Amino acid sequence: MSLFAIIVDWLVIIVFIVVILSAAIKIVPEYERAVLFRLGRLVGVRGPGLIFIIPIIDRIFRISLRIIVFDVPPQEVITKDNVTCKVNAVLYYRVVFADKAIVNVEKFHEATNQLAQTTLRSVIGTADLDELLSQREKLNQTIQSIVDEATDSWGIKVTSVEIKDVVLPAEMQKAIARQAQAERDRRAAVIQAEGERQAAEKLAQASQILSAQEGGLTMRMLRAMSEVSNSQNTTIIFPLPLELRRLLPEVNQFIKSE
C-alpha cells in the first residue's frame, strides 16, 4: 500500500470525525433553549451551553426565550354603541416553556398573533367609544389577561398589551370636536358666573359697610364725581345726597318761619 493511499485514508477518517463531531456538538446561547427529540420522542429541553446529540437519531429545535414584540395590524371593530373604528395594538410575549411551545401548538408565533387580533376585536366590541378613548389601560389589562390565559398551555407568557391608535371616521371626529368645544364653553360660563357671584357678594358687603357709616355713601359719591370730572366735556347728573335730603324739612321750616 503506497504512502499516498495511506494519507488519503487518514484524511477521509479525519474529515468523517470532524463531520460527526460538528453534527454531535451544539452550542446553545443563554437566550435560547434546544428542545431535543430522539427517534421522534421528546427527550427534554437542553441548554444553555454545550450539548451533545446523536447525529441522525436526534433532532433539536431552537427556541428563543427573549421577549417578542408583535404589532397587531389595524382591526376594523364596532364598539358597543355601534361606532365603527380602526384600532391597532402592540403585543409583548415570550416563551417560558420551550417544550410546550413545540409540542402543544403548531407555529406558536402565528397562533399567538392571531389570538391577539381576535381578542382585540372581541374586547373592544364590549366597550363603548368613551371607554375606548378614556379607559385604555383597563382594556389593555383585559386583553392581556385573556390572551395570557389562552396561551398558558402553549408555554407562552404574555407580558403586556398596549392599544396604540384609534382611528375614527371623519364625521365622528368632528362630532367629538364639537362636544369638546361645548364642554369648554360650559366651563368658561361656569367660571364667569362664579366670578360675577363673588363680585356681587363683595359689592353687597361694601354697600352694607358704607350704609352703616354716617356720610359713607356721600363720600363714595363725591370720590366717584372727582374721578369722572377729570374727563373733558362731561355732563354729570347725580342725585341729592341722603344727608342733604334729611336737612330739607328743617330748611323749609326755617324759610316758613321767616
pLDDT of the residue at 206: 65
Rounded CA separation 167/85 (Å): 6
Question: Which of 64, 79, 102 lies at the terminal end of a domain, its last residue?
Answer: 64
Compute the Cα dihedral for 184, 185, 186, 192 and give only its sign: positive
Measuring CA to CA, which residue among 38, 17, 146, 10 is closest to residue 91? Answer: 146
Residue 113, C-alpha cell as written in the block: 398573533
CATH of the domain at 104: 3.30.479.30
The reply to whether 165 and 88 lie within a common domain is yes
- Indicate the pTM of the whole model: 0.64
Which residues, in sequence order, are CB contacts of 92 under 8 Å at separation 6+? Answer: 67, 68, 69, 70, 158, 159, 160, 161, 162
**Cβ pair 121, 75 in contact under 8 A:** yes
Q: Which residues pair with 51 in a beta bridge?
A: 26
For residues 56 and 83, state if they share a domain: no
Please count the structural domains in the chain.
Answer: 2
pLDDT digits (tens, 9 = 90+) for 173-230: 566 666 666 766 777 778 877 877 787 777 677 666 656 655 555 556 556 655 656 6
Among 190, 112, 117, residue whose Cα is nearest residue 152:
112
| Last-in-domain residue among 173, 193, 226 | 173
The reply to whether 159 and 96 lie within a common domain is yes
121 and 152 in a single domain? The answer is: yes
**Backbone torsions φ then ψ of 249, nearest 5 degrees:** -60, -40
Q: Point out the domain boundary residue: 64, 90, 108.
A: 64
Residue 22 confidence (pLDDT) above 60: yes
CA dihedral 167, 172, 178, 184 (to 10 degrees): -40
Rg (CA), the chain: 44
Binned at pLDDT 50, 70 and 90, residue 251 comes out as very low
| pLDDT computed for residue 192 by the predictor | 79
**Which grid coordinates belong to 253?**
321750616
Residues 58 and 107 in one domain: no
Q: Which domain holds residue 96?
A: 68-173
76-116 confidence digits (pLDDT tens): 998 888 888 899 999 999 999 999 999 999 999 999 999 99
pLDDT at 1: 58
Q: Are residues 97 and 155 in the same domain?
A: yes
Residue 188 pLDDT: 74
Residues with Cβ within 8 Å of 68's Cβ and at least 6 positions away in sequence, in order, are 92, 93, 94, 109
**All cell numbers assigned to 130:** 368613551
Cβ-based neighbours of 128, under 8 Å, separated by 6 or more: 79, 80, 81, 83
Shared domain for 24 and 120, answered yes or no, is no
193 vs 27, more confident: 27
Q: What is the pLDDT of residues 144-153, one digit of tens each?
A: 999 999 999 9
What mean pLDDT comes out for the span 38-67? 93
